[in-house]
Each structure stands twice: as structure tokens, then as C-alpha cells.
Amino acid sequence: MRNIIVFTLLILPHKLLAEVGETDLNDLSDQQNSVLINKCCEPDQIVVNSVCRLAKDYNQTVWKPQFKTEDGKEVQVKYFRYIHGYPDCETTQHRAIFYLSNLRKSEDELNLLSDGRLLHIIHHEPSADSVKEDPLMRIQGSIVIPSEQQQASYTYVQNKYCMDKILMTANSTNTGEYALICIPDVKNWTDVDFIIKKIVNPLFHAISMILYLIVAIIYFVLPTLRDLAGNIITTINICLIVSQAADMVRIFTEFSNHVSFMVTDILLYISLLGAFFWLNSFGFYIWKTFKSRNVFLRVTDVRKYCYYSSVVWSSVVLMAVMAIGAHFLLDTGNKLNQFSSSVLVDDIEQETIGWLGIAIFFTPVAFTIIFNIIFYVTTLKVIKRINIYGRIHYKLKGCFDLFLQIFLIMTIAWLFLLLSWLNFNGLLYAHVFVNLMQAILIFYVCVVRQSHVTFLLKKSCCYAEPIPTGEWGDEMTHMNGNYNY
């Protein structure tokens, strides 16, 4: 009996130490294999409106994750640790998601799974109107979801999202969960919205660029068309090509980031502004020439084109500098960058140029439209008073008709571009088709409808005859009643 007691006293401590050591090793292993969660802000910060702020400054507690299963049941996770910072979206675009707890109905639902993944559930029931009107909720990223009345869900792995607590103080104090996710590459080939925006729209842009390029080449290559009016038409088409190329880059949002989107926006608006400024110079040239008492006393076309170029491009550069400066210095949507480098929502909002910059770009376009209307009305009165037409007048009359047609086409397309910014898909679809019609109509009025242009093309391409280089080519065509023999 004594031997048994002695043996038990000797063995029991070793057994207890082994059990304690095994428990500590298992616990240490669980801590090392803890669930990784991406937190947008630092440990003592939360998202306030759009930036990371200290939670104690707003009498708020920090974010504590609540884990759930895929079917929505709560589950406990003993060990987890944070990884602070933005998600690594590589070539895809960010999108901000708001899940406010005080709303009875929310379009987005965020469930943090027990393995660290984020489950984003999209309901078709819209959020409250007060939230929809909040500027922070008007995001640019979108996910293609089915049109049927059923929920869609997307799962994001650990480095493709970040979550945190959000406090919105715009109208009323709303707290909830905030997530910055990488938009998944979802392609619904049967969805009309996806087909028009991602397939038809780029295709129409490519066709438009080809048509503009053909017009520019024709008016640049044919010697008799290489006068001041022809050079202006060539420059207008080159500006439209640049605008189409920049807009095509904006279509493919998965290849976008903050810098490239800003650059493409600036190129788009500068090229559009340049096209309308050159159109305005075209109308001014016709108006001034008709108002002149002696149309034969004129400066050479090359020197005139240099004068117009210096004025037009100086004005475009000046307006561009003002718009870009206003965007970065005066735009209220970007002022938060002055106070914090941890901008979350506004970083997404400001991927494109702000409304103040757009207004500075597009206000001169509106004024050029008014000036062109004045040029048209006054020039038409002068034309009606002229009784005897010379060869210069015939040529200017043809340029006047061409100016009016291009002016109407570009103005209507510009108005549809403005309407496409409204929150209505029908207007956006209309802009897509009007954009193509603009290129087709410009090609028609500049090439197909101009009988002297088609005559020169047939003579140079079909009959392989030398193109006349004298000054009488275009004028004689008009004087002969636009009939070619």
C-alpha cells in the first residue's frame, strides 16, 4: 500500500504538468491560427462620415466584429486579429457599402463569416429615402445583379475587403457597419444594362473613332480641302477622336484607379472644349469674312490657322487650369483631404473630376453655342442681302451650310451627354446611340453630302488621276451647281 502511494505521488505531478503544457500549446496554436480580419482604420479609430477618426472624440466605441454563419446565425470566434488598411484590389475598382443598424430595410447586408470572409447580401428592397439622399451614399461603383426579385450575394476573401464602424452625422446620427470592397468581376451576359454599357458602348466608340479618323484624313490629304475651313474640320475631328478614346477608357472601370480616371476625365473635357472652341472659330471665320467689304483682301490660310490655333488652345489651356485648380482647391467634396490622409468614401467619390470642375469646363461650351447662334443669324442676314455671288462667296456659302450642320449635330450630342448624367438609364442608353449617330452624321455631312469631296475622292482613288491643286477646285464645283462633269 505504501509503495502504491509513493508511486502515485511521483507520477501525478508529471501528469498534471503534461496536461497543462498540452493545453498551453493548443492555446498558443489557436492564437497563431487566429482569424484574420481587415479593419479599415487604426485600432482606436472608426469611420466618421468619410474619414478615420478617434472613437473617443465622438463618444463612440470601437468596432467589434460579430461573426455569423453563411445562413445568418451568430457564432463565437475565440481568437481573431486585425489587419489594418485598405483592401488590395489590384486592377478592380473599390466600392463602399453601408449597413446601418437603425434602418428597418437595407439594400445591403454585411455578414462577417467565422473564417474571416465577408458575405455581402444584396436585397432588392431599396433603402430608406433619407439614406438615398445622403451624398455619402451616392457611390459610383456598381455590381450587376439579377433583375428578378431575389437576393444576390458575393463573398470576399480576407484581403479583398475591409470593415469598420461608421458614424454618419450629416442629418442624424446613424451608426452601423462600413465596408470597402473590391468589386467582383461579374458579367451577366443576358442583362440589358451590362450589354449596352460594356459591349455596345465601347463598340460604338470604336466605330465613331474610325469615322472621325476617315474625315480627318480626307480633309488633311486632299490638297484642295487643305484650306482654313478644311484644317478646322480636321482639328475638330481630331478633338472628337481624343474625347472618344478617353471616354472608352472610362467605360472599363476594372482597369481604373484614382489617377487614371482623373486623367481620362481631364482629357475628355479638354478635347470636348477644344472641339467646340474650334467650331466657334469656324463660325467666326465665316461671319467675319461675310461681314468684310472685300473678301479678296485676306491673310493666307496658314497664317490665319496659326492665329486661330493660338487663341483657341490658349483659351482651352486657361479653362483647363481653372477647372483642375477649382477641383483640387475649391471643390467641397475634396476638402477632407486637407485634414486627413485616411479618406475612405471621398477617395471613391473623387475618382472622377468634381462638379465644380465640370461646370468650369462646360460653361464655356454653353457660351460657344450662344455665340454660334449669333454668328448664324447675323451671317444669314448678310447672305440674304448679297445679290451677286463670286467664287469666294460660293465657297463660303458651302462652308456656312457645313458649319450649321456640324453645329446642330455637336450641340444635340452635347445635350444628350448632359442628360446622361441624370439618374435614369434610359437617358444613358440614348446618349450611347446619339454618340454613334453624331459620328455617322458628321461623316455624312463632311464627306458623303459634299459632292466636291466625293468627286475628288473618285478622281484620286477610282480613276487614279492627279488631284487638282489650284485654287479653283472647290469654287468651280459650287459655281457649277454642285454637278461634276
**pLDDT tens-digit map of 35-80:** 888 888 888 888 887 788 888 888 888 888 888 888 778 888 778 8
C-alpha cell at 218: 480626307
Q: Note whether 148 and 191 are within 8 A (CB).
A: no
Domain 35-182 has CATH 2.170.180.11: yes
**Phi, psi at residue 117, to the nearest 5°?**
-80, 160
Contacts 24+ apart (CB under 8 A), 371-374: 371/280, 371/283, 371/284, 372/279, 372/280, 372/283, 372/407
Of 119, 83, 104, 103, the closest CA to residue 168 belongs to: 103
Q: Break the chain into its structural domains and give their ranges.
A: 35-182, 192-479
Residue 372: predicted pLDDT: 95
* Residue ranges in 333-390 assigned as alpha helix (H): 345-349, 355-385
349-368 burial, b at 16+ Cβ within 10 Å, e below that, comes to: bbbbbbebbbebbbebbeeb
The number of beta carbons lying within 10 Å of the beta carbon of residue 300 is 10
Mean pLDDT by runs of 10 across the 485 residues of the chain is: 58 53 50 77 84 85 85 80 80 75 65 84 56 40 42 78 82 74 68 84 95 94 86 95 91 57 86 95 90 60 87 94 86 40 41 79 94 93 75 78 95 94 88 95 93 82 55 42 39
In the CATH scheme, what is the code of domain 192-479? Answer: 1.20.1070.10
Number of C-beta neighbours around residue 223 at 10 A: 13
Report the chain's terminal Cα–Cα distance, integer Å: 134
Quote the pLDDT of residue 169.
Answer: 75
Q: Which residue blocks in 46-200 are alpha helix, DSSP H?
A: 129-132, 192-194
Distances (CA, A) of 368 to 238, 306, 310, 406: 19, 20, 17, 13
Q: What angle do CA 319, 324, 330 make, to 5 degrees?
A: 110
Closest Cα to residue 350, out of 37, 124, 138, 132? Answer: 138
Is the four-CA dihedral 298, 303, 305, 306 of positive or negative sign? negative
Coil, helix or strand for 344?
coil
